[in-house]
Structure 1
């Protein structure tokens, strides 16, 4: 069997955990995939890549597939803006929602998808209500037995002890950090450091497009789907506006409207407009129950009525591939649901991450196989 050689470039989201976490996650999911198929996958140790990246190889000997996986690193830039102090986070969240109130097209967002509107609006509500209720309810009950000032102190202590854990379980602090960062990104642009990193990444992809690859994937996930559009503009400029047929861009859990619907993000609107008349392959895989993702929202339609890219908009239909007890549904699982794009379920899907990046099918073949599932 002739070996199928694939190059994968991965650009992840706003996450300080970085390459160690994602390399381990890939190894775990490759093991799950192997257990389901009976076909071993060998995932190498990671090594330093040439452009703020890390590289590992994935060998699928049974199917004759070899994948060179390059992880684009920007967790160092995330770490520099990751807010750890709760008071600082609270104050900056005020600026975030003032900016959203002024510039976000909430009406248009609601017409596109209801879920992300709720995801944007519930963090400040819960951040206020949960500590208040955890303090007030015990205080009112105890005030029947002890002086109110003593009951109030106990209520405050209980709230301080429990509210942080509950808010973390509901992903409130992470969402507030995410929203503040993207509020600043919309208003001020990427800045020199991030723009330089995006240039590096675009140059790396451009260098490999003429390599000995049967398929080249540029995979973006979560906030990486936002930066991925800017990177694609740079890549197309480097390649004279044309990309080879074996190149495909994947968007997983796409969140482009977080910036694309901000009226002050003129720099980003320019990026999307520049891409709208360019021909390339784009596959968007976003789940309707994922409250952060914009399922079936074509990012190019945010700025243009028509586009030249060949686009598929798909739901991964996770419920078909997970047993009910393992399916990430419900409010407390919203964060985990946003990472199911990178996992393997209890049954194989043509669109699970390991099948896409280490399997024999091309992305086009995987999409065609997925569409045959009832």
Structure 2
């Protein structure tokens, strides 16, 4: 009897760390998964298939499952867009939030979830208020002995220096870079040409593998990769002579598509969502309600009033069922970790955790059915 064969294409989020980091993360999680299931899962060395694609093989020897994994790379684009100078970051952030003030459909955004709105606005608020809160007492104490303007300068310098590690801890600079990048995408900015060219290459890589002898083909995206998936899926559909194969599914994890879709000026992106809505394919979205960097339970095509032919299933991963209370990433301090829990296995194995999707002999629909049956 032939074993189960799966093909996975992965598009990650706005992260300059790239393929080495994510292969190591997957290796660590596969080891945890093997330890918890008792099934022997191994991961091969990385193979460079092209300048924008790295492959490796995941084998579940116990269940005779082979997953050929392709990491589609765009970390070079992220690195080029990564604003390193704090002053430049502040200036670009001001421009971004001016655009948000003009173009964000606030009523629509509020209806989709308050947590992502808080995530959108807390970085600039903290970046301004936290240094000031630190600077004021320093200024007051220094002013006892020094001229007011010298004391003020000392206070401001102390505020900036002492606030910086605290802001980094809550990932405010990363979020600002992330928002600025997607603001440029929504407005057809400077990064659009590079992203378009890369998505063309991604589509060619995927189409070239669709007719393989696979039991299933998954396009899995995480975070910002799910925004790219809208354009990428349209490219795939344009390249196909007919519908996508029945064994194909799009899986989005922690999607943040409304970040662009709720902007009035994102007319090109709205058109891509409407076009995507006219096609019939399987789409599973996994979004955690506590994840403030993602939108839980949101069908993105409905944001723009599009037809919604894709067979979309909106799932919460229900992390609270699969983590012990001591290790469950909850609360404000763990928002960043919650956003990466989609790529991990918990204290108990879930049928739809990332290692399970890689190593189990179930199709994605069988995994979803098993997950739904858990009380």
Bin of the TM-score, shorter chain as denominator length: over 0.9
Answer yes or no: is the 8 Å Cα contact 2:29–2:344 preserved in 1: yes
Confirm whether residue 101 of structure 1 aligns to residue 112 of structure 2. no
Distance 1:209 1:51, change over 3 A: farther
Runs of 4+ in 1 over 3 A off after TM superposition: 145-158
Alignment partner, residue 242 of structure 1: 243
Q: Aligned equivalents of 1:171 and 1:106: distance in 2?
A: 24
SS in 2 for 1:339: helix
What residue number does 2:261 align with? 260
Of 32-41 and 78-87, deviating more is 32-41
- Using the TM superposition, give the Cα deviation of residue 305 of structure 1 relative to its aligned residue in structure 2, in angstroms: 5.0
- For residues 105-158 of structure 1, the C-alpha deviation after alignment (integer angstroms, 9 at most, x for no partner) is 121010111111111111110000111111112333565x64464654553453
Which sections of structure 1, spanning at least 5 residues, go unmatched? none
Q: Aligned residue for 1:56?
A: 56
Residue 220 of structure 1 aligns to a residue in which SS? strand
Residue 38 of structure 1, CA deviation: 1.5
- For structure 2, the 5+ residue unaligned runs are none
String of CA shifts for 1:245-276, please: whole Å, max 9, x gaps: 10000000011111111111111111111111
From the superposition, tell whether residues 241 and 186 of structure 1 become closer, same or farther in structure 2 (CA, over 3 Å): farther
State the alpha-carbon separation in 2 of the partners of residues 191 and 290 from structure 1: 27
Q: What is aligned with 1:301?
A: 302
CA distance in 2, matches of 1:140, 1:49: 61
**Deviations 1:263-292 (Å, cap 9, x if unpaired)?**
111111111111111000000000000001
Question: Residue 90 of structure 1 corresponds to which residue in structure 2?
Answer: 90
Q: Give TM-score, length-normalised by structure 2.
A: 0.96
- What's 1:212 paired with? 213
Query: Which residue is equivalent to 1:72?
Result: 72
**Cα deviation, residue 326, structure 1:** 1.4
DSSP-derived class of the 2:252 partner: strand
Do the aligned partners of 1:139 and 1:148 also contact (CA within 8 Å) in 2?
Answer: no
Once the two structures are superposed, the pairs formed by residues 9-158 of structure 1 within 5 Å of their partners are 9-50=9-50, 52-141=52-141, 143=143, 146-147=145-146, 149=148, 152=152, 154-158=154-158
For the aligned residue pairs, the C-alpha RMSD in angstroms reads 1.5
Task: After TM superposition, give the deviation of residue 229 of structure 1 in Å.
Answer: 0.9
Which sits farther off after the overlay, 145-154 or 157-166?
Answer: 145-154
1:6 has 2:6 as partner? yes
Q: Which residue of 2 aligns with 1:291?
A: 292
Q: How big is the shift at 1:180?
A: 0.7
Offset of residue 335 of structure 1: 1.3
1:276–1:304 Cα contact (<8 Å) kept:
no
- Matching residue of 1:310: 311
1:180-222 Cα offsets, whole Å, 9 max, x none, are 1111110015532221110111111111111010010000110
User: Matched residue pairs, number?
Assistant: 373
Distance (whole Å) between structure 1 residues aligned to residue 279 and residue 305 of structure 2: 12
CA contact (8 A) 1:47 1:54 kept: yes
Report what 1:160 is aligned to: 160
- Give the match for residue 178 of structure 2: 178
Structure 1 residue 244, shift from structure 2 partner: 0.8
Partner of 1:325: 326
Q: TM-score, normalised by structure 1?
A: 0.96
2: CA distance between counterparts of 1:148 and 1:215? Answer: 72
For the 8 Å contact 2:274–2:307, the answer to whether it is kept is no
Deviations 1:72-120 (A, max 9, x none): 0000011111000000000000100011111111210101111111111
- Equivalents in 2 of 1:95, 1:156: separation in Å? 23
